[in-house]
Amino acid sequence: MGEGTKPGQERRRFRAIKGVRDILPPATDLWNWFEKTARGVMEAYNFHEIRLPIFEETELFARSIGVETDVVTKEMYTFADHGYWDLELVRIRIVNNPPGHWDGSVVQSYRTQVANLIDQCRMLIGAGEIPDTPANARALSELDLAVNAINSSIPPVGMGSTQFDASILQIVHYARSLKFGDVVTLRPEATASVARAYIEHGMQTLPGDQKLYYIGPMFRRERPQKGRYRQFYQIGAEVLGTSDAPAIDAELIEMLTVLIERCRIEKWTLLVNSIGCPDTPERKGCRPKYVERLREELRKVKDKLGADSQRRIDTNPLRVLDSKLPEEQAIIEKLPKISDFLCEDCRAHFEKLKQELKLRQVAFTEAPRLVRGLDYYMRTTFEITSPVLGAQNALCGGGRYDGLVELLGGPRGIKGIGFALGEDRFIDAIEEAKKIHATRPVDVFIAWMGEKAYPTAVRLARVLREEKHTVELPPEEMKFRKALERADKLGARYALIMGEDEIKTGELSIKRLADGKQEKISEDALVDYFRPKAGA
C-alpha cells in the first residue's frame, strides 16, 4: 500500500475523461498567440468582448438551437441545479419503482416514501429553498390526493385494482413533474447566451449595433475523434441590431478571412448560401415552401436513405442535406435547391451579399446545400472549411438569425448575424501550415552560486522582469555547470552568471547561449544591455 493510500482504497491514476483533454505548454503558447491575434483583429473591427456564463437554463438552448437538432437531442450535458440530491433520489425511486401489485408492506413503505417527500417539499418550499411554482403546488396536492386514496384502502377494503393502479399512476406522473431547482446545461454554443444577455440587459437601447465577441469552452457530447472534442473552444462574434444590411454579413466574413490570413493558413474555402426566411405573423416565408417540396422529394427516395435521414424527413428535412453518409451524396445532389425557391427579398439580400464580398475581395464558393445544423438561421449561412483538417473540416461557421431575439421574448425587429470558429481546429491548421512559431523562450537564466550572490540574483530577476523579460531564477543553488546545462535545455537566450567573485567586483558575466560568447558588464549597464538596440 502506498503512503497516501488508505486501507481498502484502491491505488489508481486518474485520467481526463473521454473527449476532453489537457492543453499543455508549449502548445498553450500558440493558443495564447492565436487568442491575442483574434482579439486584435476583432477589436480592429470595433467588436467588444462579452463574458458569458458556462451554463444556462436548458430551455434556452432547446428553444434557440431547436428541439429536433442533434445538439439538443443527443449532445447536451444537462443536470439538475439544486442541492437536494437525497430528495431527487427519493423522487427517482418513487417514479421508477412503484409497487407493481398489491402487497401490504411494499405499498405501505411506498406510501410512506411519498408522504415524506411531500412533507419535505412543503417544508423546503416554505423556506424558499425549492421553487414555489404553480406546477410544484399542483404536483404536491395531486400527490396528497393519491397517497390518501391508497392510505384509506389499507387493507384494501373497497379498492379495486383499477383504482389502485390509477393512484399509483397519478403518483408516478406528479412525482416526475416535481422540480427542486432549475435544469441547466453546459453551453453547447454561445449565440443563444448572447441573445439572452442582449435581451436581459436591454442592449437594444444602446446606440448602434452591438458588436460582441467571446472566447471560451463549449460542451457537446459528440463521438470524439481528431478535431472533435466534448469540451472544445470557440471564438465567436455576433452583431445584433435593427439593420440586416448585407454589408454587416460581408464585413463579419471579411474579418474572419483577415484572421485566417494572419494565421498564415493557406488552404481554405469559404462557402456561402442563403436558406431563405421562415413564416412570420406578417408574411409567408420562402423556406417553408422549399421544406415542403424537399420533404415530398425525400419521401420518394426514402428507402434509399439511412435511418437518420429517414427520421429527418418528418422532423427536419433540411438536415438531410448536410448528411455526411457517402451513399446518400448522389441522392442529395439531385434534390431541389433552396436557391430556386428564394423570395424576392431573400434573393436580393443574397445578391447584395455576394457583391459586398467581391468588393472586399473575399473569394467564396456558393454552396446551395449549406443549411447548418442549428435551427435559428435564416438567409445568410456560411462556413470555412480546410482540407488539412480531415473529416472534421469546418474551421468555422455562422449565419444570420433575425428571429432569435424575438423568439426568446426580446424586442421585435432585432436582427442578428454571427459566427463561431473552432479554436482546436484553427490550432491544428496553424500547426499544419508551419508558418507561425509562437513558443515563448526564456530570455535570461540567472545562474547564481553562493549565499552572497543570492540577494543580488533575486533583485536583478525582478528588475529584468519589470522590463518584460522572461527570467528563470533557480530557487536553490546550482553548480555553474549544472545551471548552464539547465539554461540550455530551457532554450534560454542568455545566462547571467553571478558567484561571490562577481558580487565582490560588481561585474556580472553574461553568456549568450547560442554561440557561447561571454562578456562582463556592470550591474548598472544590465537593463540597457537587454533593451532592443536602435536599428537592430
Site string for ligand HAM, 293-312 (x = CB under 6 A): --------------------
Total interface residues for ligand HAM by CB under 6 A:
25
Residue 178 and residue 170: Cα distance in Å, rounded? 13
Task: Quickly list H helices, 383-468.
Answer: 404-407, 423-433, 453-466
C-alpha cell at 429: 491548421
C-beta atoms surrounding 158 within 10 Å: 7
Residue (98 or 227) nearer to ligand HAM, CB: 227
Q: Does 403 bind ligand HAM (CB under 6 A)?
A: no
Q: Which residue is nearest to ligand HAM (CB)?
A: 422
Cα separation, 61 vs 71, whole angstroms: 9
Q: Is 191 in the site for ligand HAM (CB under 6 A)?
A: yes
Question: What's the rounded Cα separation, in Å, for the pair 335 and 139?
Answer: 49
Cell numbers at residue 457, please? 540574483
> Taking CB under 6 A as the rule, does residue 228 contact ligand HAM?
yes
Residue 402's closest CA among 341, 346, 318?
346
CA angle, 231 then 233 then 235, to 5°: 155
Contact call for residue 382 and ligand HAM (CB under 6 A)? no
Q: Which of 27, 367, 394, 521 binds ligand HAM (CB under 6 A)?
A: 394
For ligand HAM, which is the closer residue by CB, 111 or 425? 425
Residue 469 — φ and ψ, nearest 5°?
-85, 150
What amino acid is encoded at 355 in this protein? Answer: Q
Q: Distance between CA atoms of 86 and 80, rounded to whole angstroms?
A: 13
Mark 405-444 with x for binding to ligand HAM (rule: CB under 6 A) and - for no binding: -------------xxxxx-xx-------------------
Quick one: which of 56, 70, 209, 238 contacts ligand HAM (CB under 6 A)?
238
Where does this chain touch ligand HAM (CB under 6 A) — which range of 220-228, 332-340, 344-352, 436-444? 220-228
Shortest distance (Å) from residue 247 CB to ligand HAM? 17
Only one of the segments 136-144, 203-211, 325-333, 388-396 lies at the binding site for ligand HAM (rule: CB under 6 A); that segment is 388-396
What are the residues facing 57 on neighbouring strands? 184
Candidate segments 46-54, 229-237, 256-264, 499-507, binder of ligand HAM by CB under 6 A: 229-237
If one asks whether residue 234 binds ligand HAM (CB under 6 A), the answer comes out as yes
Please tell me what DSSP assigns to residue 339: G
According to the binding rule CB under 6 A, does residue 66 interact with ligand HAM? no
Would residue 361 be called left, alpha or beta, if left means φ above 0 and alpha means ψ between -120 and 50 degrees? left
Q: Contacting ligand HAM (CB under 6 A), which of 187, 220, 415, 511?
A: 220
Write down the least CB distance from residue 399 to ligand HAM, Å.
5
Q: Specify burial of residue 173 (Cβ count, 10 A radius: 0-12, 13-18, 19+).
A: middle
| Residues within the interface to ligand HAM (CB under 6 A) | 189, 191, 220, 222, 227-229, 232, 234, 236, 238, 394-399, 401, 418-422, 424-425
